[in-house]
Structure 1
């Protein structure tokens, strides 16, 4: 038996670790990280419908995830009016789309490994998963290359960005699409539930002490790759033999004391 069987899953873990924190950092600086949590649950109906139609599940997941985010935004109140009740709207849409996805599986009579969808299955990764994640990373890098200054403006002063004529709605729609693409791409690595940990924890640590958004982005991406790579290599050790996705989620939790320590030292 060759020792190279783990190389493709490791490559996917590293790419997911690079990708997820980039989108997570952009959402975090705008105070919209919960949108990633919403999208990660809203992709399930699209995955089910795409499988039933014989289409690429990733395509269905992106469409469904964006639809869930747009629906939540439609029923949320603008920030200028206080936005009270927005959390209830987001949680309701999240639960509704997740429930719809679970119901569609028996209704459409399709076979879906829910555990793999929710928590990932790196050991079952194939070349299409790797290519999809690599393409998603290129899309995110493209967004950063062409819209970096606008994203900084939107993160620092969203009201000022809107009043200056910046197409805030269009930019947020692009970010929503990129987030959905990120979630679907990381589905094989950590699943649609645990992806939020890989998007949030590295971004939290990277933003502490960062002097620019660019610095926070590359820091978060590096931390995410290290987290995902170490989590995978640790999981496949014979003495441990645990699912990589959940283990990466637990390692993300262990970053929180480092965030607190940085905050205390900075204060």
Structure 2
């Protein structure tokens, strides 16, 4: 790896994640399913641990595990309609706890801190390829199901009433979300990724005229947040992932960038 690659790859990774995560987050926020994404981000850990133990790509295990966590949550929520958020948080804690337990049980040498909080400075071209694959899956979903995604976001009950395959659409979206979250692990970790999924979406969301406009706006904001976090981390000698998370929080504190109804 050349000296240029040492800085170019992390910067490209930060910028790509800063675009893909907010676009995914826009779908989740408009459908009021952000908590489900938070569950997925924690549920990837057991799959990553098992994949490492089996000697396969951790991303494959993480995507499968994240999807299983989402499916388990959806199933359990049907029997607990009055406590859906409690179910999601319980499944989240269970999968995260299982992942932490599997590391010593399987005798793994796994950098848990880097997995949870990211380490942009050690990413390589393979990590970058994962983000591109996740971006391609997201783009395919948007191209083929854009009108249905808009309908579900505006009127989920109406979408069910007219016969749209809402459950299937949510399953596919959960798969794509898992891919995006796993691909972002190297940049911001599975814990801090929720910041990039949500923060860029909120400023000005109530002022956009369409889902497409909201996604473009959030992608631009996310791009700026990731760039600022990365470029501040270099001179300050701080880890970029956590710094990007802090910048996401600070964004919402700026009076002119707060949501209009705040």
| TM-score between both structures, scaled by the size of structure 2 | 0.95
In 2, are the aligned partners of 1:205 and 1:258 still within 8 Å (CA)?
Answer: no
Structure 1's 42 and 4: CA in aligned 2 closer, same or farther, altered over 3 A? closer
1:38 aligns with 2:39: yes
State the 1:77 CA deviation: 3.1
Q: 1:187 to 1:29 in 2, by over 3 A?
A: same
Aligned to 1:21: 22
Q: Distance in 1 between matches of 2:10 and 2:62?
A: 21
Q: Deviations over 1:77-121 (max 9, x none)?
A: 38xx9x311111111100000000000001111111000000000
Deviations 1:143-175 (A, max 9, x none): 111110000000000000001010000000011
d(CA) in 2 for partners of 1:179 and 1:145?
Answer: 16
Alignment of 1:102-181 (within 5 A): 102-181=100-179
Deviations 1:169-224 (A, max 9, x none): 00000110011001100000000000000000001125131111000001111111
CA 1:30–1:48: 2 relative to 1, 3 Å: same
2:251 corresponds to which of 252, 255, 261: 255
Instruction: Name 1:246's counterpart in structure 2.
Output: 242
Q: In the TM superposition, what are the counterparts of 1:178-193 in structure 2 within 5 Å?
A: 178-193=176-191
Q: 1:84 to 1:50 in 2, by over 3 A?
A: same
Q: 1:125 and 1:171 mapped to 2: Cα distance?
A: 32
Check 1:218–1:102 CA distance in 2 against 1; reply closer, same or farther (3 A cut): same
Superposed CA offset, 1:40-82 (max 9, x none)? 000000000000000100000000000001000101038xx9x
Within 5 Å, which residues of 2 pair with 1:52-71?
52-71=53-72
1:263 Cα deviation (Å)?
3.8
Change over 3 Å in CA distance of 1:245–1:143 after alignment to 2: same
The CA RMSD measured in Å over matched residues stands at 1.7
Q: Which runs of 5+ in 2 are unaligned?
A: none
**1:204·1:259 contact (CA, 8 Å) conserved in 2?**
no
8 A Cα contact 2:204 2:257, kept in partner: no
Equivalent in the alignment of 2:87: 89
What residue in structure 2 maps to residue 101 of structure 1?
99
SS in 2 for 1:138: helix
TM-aligned CA deviation for residue 127 of structure 1: 0.7
Gaps of 5+ in 1: none
